[in-house]
A and B are shown apart, each in its own frame.
Chain A
Amino acid sequence: MVTLQLPLPTMNNRIFSHFNPKPASCLCRVRNRSRAFPSNKYGIFASWTAADAVFGGKEGTTTTTTKEEERLLPSELQPELMPKHVAVIMDGNVRWARQRNLPSSFGHQAGVKALRDLVDVCCKWEIRVLTVFAFSTENWLRPKLEVGMLMNLFEMVLKEDLENLMRQDVRISVIGDSKKLPKSLQKLKTKVEDTTRNNSGLQLIIAVNYSGQYDIVEACKSIAEKTKDGMIQPNDITEAVIEQELETNCTKFPHPDLLIRTSGEQRISNFLLWQLAYTELAFVKSLWPDFGKADFVDVLCSFQQRQRRYGGRDS
């Protein structure tokens, strides 16, 4: 059977994110979330929403739920099929800001809030590892002002959230080439990693100045040194040897089960290449600051319906 797609894809037309038939409530939420931002007649609403997203919600606008209710998985999700490791390419902050006629910094700050919410949800739903692509090696080519702002934002978030993350028992690991980062951020990174090293809850891996090809090349350099020193012969280099040298050796679950990329772009963009060999990919139309719990539930619904065969066959 052949599935037709519309001649002129609309914002709602999913392409690489494969949403199998699932409860209608999930589907409706996705369609509503992936709709383009309202037109200018809702400009005032737009500004309020932006401020709200950056600085927190208004009082009385959220329903109160008990901690137990928040921890429970939604009924659509099965606990035994939850992914152990979720990776996210947090794309769309600048476009989000532009849509609201705001500077890009607002977009990144809104993105931080979305990340905080996701970390919160992952902690509650006992996902073991969450890897986020915060800054790629290619992002250095962005305007210097934006890059500087991002470095400051990383520092500010790591400082401000450390206490909260300790309370949530989150372990932080930062992967990527830290030598190019500002010295203060390098020191803070080491401090945060050391402080949270013994935490046993969610492991939050933040990829900063990271590229998948760089990760593999660095692993290979390390292996080449070992072959030069006679510690290993070229014939003994296997996939396991390379895996041990990759930056994701900081976790027991280095291979993401699920990769989510927001903003509708359908590319890996040099993120975790080796580790994504058998990862289920989900490309979501929502921009990162708009990606909320409901979108996450929809993606997880879709993930849980997929058959992962790893090259083999079903029995």
Chain B
Amino acid sequence: MAQELEMENSNEGTLQRLFQRLVAMMSGFLQWLFFTVLSVGPIPNHIAFIMDGNRRYAKSQKLGPGAGHKAGFSSLISILESCYKIGVKYVTVYAFSIDNFKRDPIEVQSIMDLMLEKIDELLKEESIVSSHGIRINFFGNLELLSEPVRMAVAKAMVETAKNTNVVLSVCVAYTSTNEIVHAVQESCREKIAQALLNSKFNCEMRDFERGYNTLSKVDCSITLEDLERHMYLAECPDPDLLIRTSGETRLSNFLLWQTTFCYLHVLDALWPEVSPWWLGWVILHYQRAKPYIDKRMKVL
């Protein structure tokens, strides 16, 4: 009797698993179909995400501390996978702002520990980074990070440098205003160095001081191109689409310079709740707005 009951339970479990597999296969097929239809229209080359709502998600699901950010990371992998399938070439995410250092030190430390853990995972052979050829860049004021995190970040960038399919830019210890300050500082240093170099080569040694004093006559004006060259995200094109989750409607000091003409979209869903379906849905909105954006951009 007990054996019969056990067999019955085992059959039920097998049926359940088969059913789940069937549902997963159907879902995968429908998703493939959806993405194929999407690809008929214009696909954004670069999507930026403000991954907001991890902690609120953990609270709503009654999860422990740090669980929200772990769920957020899973969501990131899923979205990255979808971007790869749809044909998005550049993905930029706002992982940690300089302002976030104001939070509870325990929370900050747990996020840093999570970053270390996940960087290790991503660099493994079997991870999505290897299978899909994803290059990872970390942008921000990395000096503000602790040494272990800085070293892990540097390692990730070196080891994925040869990948070319998708570029994932992770903004950590980043704010846009800090990025602009950095660009201004570098541009000024470059101009001064150029001016000094010109003065030095044009003068004999004894006239070097006179040459140095002619620095004031040299043009040190900074151009838009100078600033853009020194931005952290200089090697990426500007985003076509910026998505913020959790319903907040602000940029929170993210990519202010680069989102000049970017299409902005807010999802009410919290970041860990965002699925590939949501991404496809937002891309549909983007495709709807694109003809008008292109018309305006053509005028430029």
Q: Say if A and B assemble together.
A: yes
Kindly supply a per-residue 1/0 record for chain B positions 177-197, scoring 1 wherever the CB is within 8 Å of any chain A CB and 0 otherwise: 110110011111101100100
How far apart are the CA atoms of A281 and B259 in the complex, in Å? Answer: 14
| A229 contacts B by Cβ under 8 Å | yes
CB interface residues, B 264-299, toward A, < 8 Å: 264-269, 273, 278, 281, 285, 288-289, 292-293, 299
Question: Judging by beta carbons under 8 Å apart, are B265 and A242 in contact?
Answer: no
Smallest CB separation, B23 vs chain A (Å)? 18
How far apart are the CA atoms of A223 and B195 in the complex, in Å? Answer: 16
Smallest CB separation, B187 vs chain A (Å)? 7
How far apart are the CA atoms of A183 and B282 in the complex, in Å? Answer: 46
Give which listed residue, A3, A237, A278, A307, contacts B253 with CB less than 8 A.
A278
For A71, the chain B residues whose CB sits under 8 A away are none
For A1, the chain B residues whose CB sits under 8 A away are 60, 269, 273
| B77 contacts A by Cβ under 8 Å | no
Question: Judging by beta carbons under 8 Å apart, are A15 and B250 in contact?
Answer: no
Smallest CB separation, A307 vs chain B (Å)? 8
Question: Judging by beta carbons under 8 Å apart, are B222 and A239 in contact?
Answer: no
User: How many positions in chain B have a CB within 8 Å of any CB in the partner chain?
Assistant: 64
How far apart are the CA atoms of A295 and B220 in the complex, in Å? Answer: 48
Question: Judging by beta carbons under 8 Å apart, are B250 and A138 in contact?
Answer: no
Which of the 9-residue segments B84-92, B94-102, B114-122, B146-154 touches chain A? B94-102
CB interface residues, B 220-262, toward A, < 8 Å: 220-224, 227, 247-253, 256-257, 259-262
How far apart are the CA atoms of A5 and B266 in the complex, in Å? Answer: 11
Kindly supply a per-residue 1/0 record for chain A positions 304-315, scoring 1 wherever the CB is within 8 Å of any chain B CB and 0 otherwise: 001110111100
CB interface residues, A 186-235, toward B, < 8 Å: 212-213, 216-217, 220-221, 223-225, 227-229, 234-235
Question: Judging by beta carbons under 8 Å apart, are B192 and A228 in contact?
Answer: yes
Taking CB as reference atom, which chain A residue is nearest B281?
Answer: A5
Question: Judging by beta carbons under 8 Å apart, are B176 and A237 in contact?
Answer: no
Question: Judging by beta carbons under 8 Å apart, are A265 and B292 in contact?
Answer: yes
How far apart are the CA atoms of A3 and B274 in the complex, in Å? Answer: 11
Taking CB as reference atom, which chain A residue is nearest B255?
Answer: A273
Give which listed residue, B189, B250, B261, B269, contacts A278 with CB less than 8 A.
B250
| A280 contacts B by Cβ under 8 Å | yes
| A65 contacts B by Cβ under 8 Å | no
Smallest CB separation, B190 vs chain A (Å)? 9
For B289, the chain A residues whose CB sits under 8 A away are 265-266
Give which listed residue, B215, B263, B266, B299, contacts A228 with CB less than 8 A.
B215
Taking CB as reference atom, which chain B residue is nearest A214?
Answer: B224
Taking CB as reference atom, which chain B residue is nearest A216?
Answer: B180
Contacts known (A237-B184, A310-B99); A269 close to B191, Cβ less than 8 A: no
Give which listed residue, A15, A20, A213, contacts B265 with CB less than 8 A.
A15
Question: Judging by beta carbons under 8 Å apart, are B99 and A223 in contact?
Answer: no
Smallest CB separation, B40 vs chain A (Å)? 16
| B300 contacts A by Cβ under 8 Å | yes
Contacts known (A228-B191, A228-B215, A237-B184); A267 close to B103, Cβ less than 8 A: no
User: How many positions in chain A have a CB within 8 Å of any CB in the partner chain?
Assistant: 54
Contacts known (A234-B185, A234-B188); A213 close to B257, Cβ less than 8 A: yes
How far apart are the CA atoms of A121 and B25 in the complex, in Å? Answer: 58
Kindly supply a per-residue 1/0 record for chain A positions 68-105, scoring 1 wherever the CB is within 8 Å of any chain B CB and 0 otherwise: 00000000000000000000000000000000000000
Smallest CB separation, B56 vs chain A (Å)? 10
For B220, the chain A residues whose CB sits under 8 A away are 224-225, 227-228
Contacts known (A141-B300, A221-B222, A313-B104); A266 close to B253, Cβ less than 8 A: no
Question: Judging by beta carbons under 8 Å apart, are A238 and B261 in contact?
Answer: no
Question: Judging by beta carbons under 8 Å apart, are A268 and B259 in contact?
Answer: yes
For A308, the chain B residues whose CB sits under 8 A away are 250
Question: Judging by beta carbons under 8 Å apart, are B250 and A312 in contact?
Answer: no
| A282 contacts B by Cβ under 8 Å | yes
Give which listed residue, A9, A216, A224, A306, contacts B248 with CB less than 8 A.
A306
Question: Judging by beta carbons under 8 Å apart, are A223 and B184 in contact?
Answer: yes
Give which listed residue, B100, B227, B251, contacts A216 with CB less than 8 A.
B227
Contacts known (A15-B285, A266-B265); A234 close to B189, Cβ less than 8 A: yes
| A131 contacts B by Cβ under 8 Å | no
Taking CB as reference atom, which chain A residue is nearest B246?
Answer: A18
| A296 contacts B by Cβ under 8 Å | no
For B175, the chain A residues whose CB sits under 8 A away are 277
Question: Judging by beta carbons under 8 Å apart, are B299 and A138 in contact?
Answer: yes
| B131 contacts A by Cβ under 8 Å | no
Give which listed residue, A224, A242, A282, contacts B187 with CB less than 8 A.
A224
How far apart are the CA atoms of A278 and B248 in the complex, in Å? Answer: 11
For A55, the chain B residues whose CB sits under 8 A away are none
Smallest CB separation, A226 vs chain B (Å)? 9
Question: Judging by beta carbons under 8 Å apart, are A213 and B224 in contact?
Answer: yes
| A173 contacts B by Cβ under 8 Å | no
CB interface residues, B 117-156, toward A, < 8 Å: none
Instruction: List the 9 closest pairs (A to B, CB-CB), nearest first.
Output: A311-B99, A3-B268, A277-B253, A228-B220, A234-B188, A18-B249, A270-B260, A227-B188, A273-B256
A-B contact pairs, 15 of them (CB 8 A): A2-B278, A9-B288, A15-B265, A213-B260, A221-B221, A224-B184, A224-B191, A224-B221, A228-B191, A268-B262, A276-B256, A279-B250, A311-B100, A311-B102, A313-B104
Having A221-B221, A227-B192, A278-B252, one finds 11 other A-B pairs with CB under 8 Å, namely A3-B247, A18-B268, A229-B216, A239-B177, A266-B289, A267-B263, A267-B264, A268-B261, A278-B253, A311-B97, A312-B103
